[in-house]
Structure 1
Amino acid sequence: MSTSVVDSRTAERDESLRGSNQAGLRAHNERAVLSLIRRHGELAKSEIARLSRLSPQTASVIMRSLEADGLVLAGEPRRGRVGQPSVPMRLNPDGAFAFGLKLGRRTSEMVLMDFVGRVRESRAILYRFPRRAEVMRFVEEASTELRQSLGPALRRRIVGLGVGMPYEIWSWAEANGAPPGEMDEWSTVDFGAELERATGEAVFIANDVTAACGAEQAFGTDVSANFVYFFVGAFVGGGIVMDGALVPGRIGNAGALGSMPVPTRLGERRQLIHVASVHVLERMVEASGRSAVELWRHEADWTGLGPLLDEWVETSAEGLAYAIASSLAVYDFERAVIDGSFPPPVRARLVEATRAALERFDFQGLQPIAVTQGSIGRSAREVGSASLPFFAKFLLDHRVLLAER
């Protein structure tokens, strides 16, 4: 999506940011400039003026303001053949910070991320299923520790807490292995309000895999304007990007690919979450008499799983292939991106097996699709969550799925 201030689609999408007065327009233009710099890494003022279609004078005024606020830094002058040397501008990593919380079905993790998307510090907790009181204790302790990892001046630059959590997390209690009724409290609690009281930060909430998809688009190394995204965690989920815009959906649940029915080898149809999720491998490992706790650790090595892993990769790839083929009948994506909570070698195997499974499909009437690995990895949901306050406060983006409480 173009960040030009005169692009009609952008203007329409960001009318709430633009406002009708001069102050609102200036805020919109500053967001446009910051978004351009984020997208390109660094830009000279002349390039900013050209890409944003702002006048050189307006672009210079905005850059001086952003530099004074500590949001951008000037790089080394680049000398051309004629005229004054150009000075590239880049985002200041210390310009802003945000907390990101991933509330998962087996783990929760909280990160402190800087303005260029680098995770500075993180904390994690492992559990069998998420109990609200346990999660809140973790958030209070982790946010305090992460805040203290910054100097006093930088702490004032923390701009909010982004949260990625499964849609209707309480409805997956049985599949999550929770005793009956143990997760019902999630259906009535105002989790955002509790987090605000616990951390003192503005809270922004999104579906966890939608946030991960946003992280892939914002910080990924091989980004496409049209891709369908799969994150294989405890339960597999998905996200959708069309024309460079992350699509949250009418109620924020677009790309709920884990609920897509797919055929199995036994001839029955099951939802993708029961075919291509890590909890399926977990149960296979436990059924073999071994402990599956290592599956959920960040530095886990799955090579010792042997035939169990082979079977899971093959079965998961077939399910993912059906889901990808089905999504192509709805929209002509050019890429399917697969990431997840597993070691990189497992991700590579799963992607290759999915490609192989797709080769057996009849694609008559459909465009071919590339299947690639995600570039963020295990931390995609945390990174995507932490980026939510940045996009809400500083940048132009499609992520209107979130709202500050």
Structure 2
Amino acid sequence: MTTGDMAENMDATLIRDPMGGATPSGVRDHNERLVLSLIQRHGALPSADVARRANVSAQTVSTIIRALEKDGLLIRGEPIRGRVGKPSIPMALNPDGVLSLGLNIGRKSADLVLIDVTGAIRAVAKRTYAYPTPGAVMRFLEENLPKATAPLEALGRARLAGIGVAAPFELWNWLDIVNAPKEEMQAWRDFDIEDRVAAVTGLPVILRNDATAACTAEHVFGRGREFADYAYFFIGSFIGGGVVLNDTVYTGRTGNAGAFGSIPVASGAGVPRQLIDHASIFLLERRLSKAGIDPAAIWDPGTDWAAFGAALDDWIEHTARHLAIGVVAVSAVIDFERILVEVNAPPEVRRRIVERTRVAAAGLDTQGIGAPVIAEASVGRNARAIGAAALPILDRYLLSQPRFG
């Protein structure tokens, strides 16, 4: 049962606080999710702190915590001794309690990860290609699934929540940019990703736009936990993004909220173009090719990007200049607390892009709006796969709006 289904079945008069829990036994599942969400968001907490933050009775929380501990979802920390009374025992998520798979289908690579409930990666596999095809992606999944699930042998398959899939919507678009043959890429139009992944894995599948999945990773495991409202930019082969409102990742009517790559920006000649044409890694590939450097090096996680020299410097400046326009544009719509930026690149490259974007944004006219505060995201270049893996955990164990107390 999803959180939305539970909300429909709950009698509103039984809820003490719309951001807290309810004590009747009929909504125990909601309260269990609430306890797990609070501990996931704030770290290890004694039961008294959980009860206070959730606005649920101490007795109810104690009962829930005992049940979750028995099920292997929570573990006890070291007792905290005060001046008087019994020591309090902080309860933390058991890293072995829940694990989940995430498959990212990128335009230049595919990634498969196994993560635990704390966001730590237990296994990872990666494959690069010139362009994605359904056959290549499914072969990658079939070949690497045994390796990815090997850590479960000692824990049991019951600990596996499911598999999330992150993929760009309409993979068959922008074929001229990725130099992919139209005939092969059109196969994605009639390819049921969820059905095929379920057939290969035998697991529940949740599909999400890749940039929204990356935003989910940041919100559940990264700096996003600090803010209730923010815009998230992810710079991959193409730039995309996500939107968080009221502490919830907002997917939108069609699941494509945060499609920041479509924001209109002006080129040097004043011709309207989209942000995707000015702040995406495919532009770096072109610069490297012109400089005589193999662009495939971009997709090797072990590559030191400092070796890209002037081509990288030029790309960072061009990206930051246009990203600043996009940042101001989204800030004019919603007064976000932060603008978080992630890049499928080494952390040093992300840092440089954020720094140069701040400089570029400071030079733009922001009269009438609050100056946007731009910061680095923290999950890293695997954010899309990690976010995909987070989806089954959220669906089965956590609440979608976890900021309480």
1:14 to partner: Cα distance: 4.2
Amino acid across the alignment from 2:59: Q
Aligned to 2:14: none
Q: 1:196 aligns with which of 171, 195, 198?
A: 198
1:218 to partner: Cα distance: 1.2
Q: Secondary structure at the match of 2:155?
A: helix
Deviation above 4 Å: which 4+ runs of structure 1? 20-24
Q: Secondary structure at the match of 1:237?
A: strand
Call closer, same or farther: CA 1:67–1:270 in 2, change over 3 Å. same
- Pair 1:159-2:161 in alignment: yes
Aligned to 1:388: 391
8 Å contact from structure 2 (residues 166, 384) kept in 1: yes
8 Å contact from structure 1 (residues 98, 161) kept in 2: yes
Mapping 1:308-319, distance limit 5 Å: 308-319=311-322
Equivalents in 2 of 1:190, 1:170: separation in Å? 14
Aligned to 1:16: 5
8 Å contact from structure 1 (residues 339, 375) kept in 2: yes
Equivalents in 2 of 1:183, 1:272: separation in Å? 23
Aligned to 2:17: none
After superposition, give the CA deviation of every residue in 1:195-241 in whole Å (9 maximum; x if it has no partner).
Answer: 00101111011111101111111111363222111110011101111
- Pair 1:342-2:345 in alignment: yes
Mapping 1:164-179, distance limit 5 Å: 164-179=166-181
Q: 1:262 aligns with which of 261, 265, 271?
A: 265
Amino acid across the alignment from 2:143: E
After superposition, give the CA deviation of every residue in 1:317-350 in whole Å (9 maximum; x if it has no partner).
Answer: 1110000111111111121111111111111111
Q: Secondary structure at the match of 1:140?
A: helix
Equivalents in 1 of 2:37, 2:156: separation in Å? 22
Mapping 1:78-97, distance limit 5 Å: 78-97=80-99
Mapping 1:18-57, distance limit 5 Å: 18=7, 19-20=9-10, 24-57=26-59
Aligned to 1:6: none
Q: Structure 2-normalised TM-score?
A: 0.92
Q: Structure 1-normalised TM-score?
A: 0.92
The unaligned stretches of length 5 or more in structure 1 are 1-12, 400-405
Q: Secondary structure at the match of 1:240?
A: strand
Equivalents in 2 of 1:334, 1:268: separation in Å? 32
The size of the alignment, in residue pairs, is: 387
- Pair 1:288-2:291 in alignment: yes
Q: Secondary structure at the match of 1:198?
A: helix
1:377 to partner: Cα distance: 1.1
Aligned to 1:373: 376
1:167 to partner: Cα distance: 1.2
Equivalents in 2 of 1:24, 1:117: separation in Å? 30
Aligned to 1:218: 220
Q: Secondary structure at the match of 1:306?
A: helix
The unaligned stretches of length 5 or more in structure 2 are 12-23
- Pair 1:75-2:85 in alignment: no
Amino acid across the alignment from 1:93: P
Q: 2:255 aligns with which of 252, 263, 266?
A: 252
Structure 1 vs Structure 2 CA RMSD: 1.6
Call closer, same or farther: CA 1:24–1:291 in 2, change over 3 Å. farther
Call closer, same or farther: CA 1:384–1:123 in 2, change over 3 Å. same
Equivalents in 1 of 2:141, 2:25: separation in Å? 36
8 Å contact from structure 1 (residues 163, 385) kept in 2: yes
8 Å contact from structure 2 (residues 96, 155) kept in 1: no
8 Å contact from structure 2 (residues 235, 281) kept in 1: yes
Aligned to 2:60: 58
- Pair 1:361-2:348 in alignment: no
1:255 to partner: Cα distance: 0.5
Aligned to 2:112: 110
Aligned to 1:9: none
Identity %, equivalent residues: 42
Amino acid across the alignment from 1:68: K
